[in-house]
Amino acid sequence: MIHVHDIFVCKPGMASKLAKKFKEAMEGDTSLVHIMTDMTGTYNRVIMVTQFENLSDYEKSWEKYQQQSEEMKKMMEKIEGYQEMFLTGSREIFKVW
């Protein structure tokens, strides 16, 4: 099992708005575990946690996002403008023991 943390450092006042956008857009996605905002540490962070059986499953999930299906079009509409809400980001992948 692996957990993927997609970490976004938002512009001030945008973290909760971005978290809400992600939550709405990812509704029904079985890989989504949590969408979190910081309470300590670096300010203005949104962390989206997804879970996959292995790295192959994670890589396959990217194929879904590259398709122009109705599901993906709807998701992209829900997150429209999200790039303007954050300054930088990173991704961490963890093996769960």
Alpha-carbon distance 3 to 51, whole Å? Answer: 5
Per-position DSSP letters for 28-85, written without gaps between them: T-TTEEEEEE-SSSSSSEEEEEEEESSHHHHHHHHHHHHS--HHHHHHHHHTTTGGGG
How far does the chain reach from its first CA to its final CA, in angstroms?
8
Alpha-carbon distance 58 to 55, whole Å? Answer: 5
For the entire predicted model, the pTM comes to 0.88
The CATH number of the domain where 84 resides is what? 3.30.70.100
Among positive and negative, which fits the CA dihedral 25, 85, 52, 64? positive
Supply the range of the domain harboring residue 80.
2-95
Print pLDDT tens along the chain (97 aa). 999 999 999 999 999 999 999 999 998 889 999 999 999 888 999 999 999 999 999 999 888 778 778 887 888 888 899 999 999 999 999 999 9
Domain count, the chain: 1
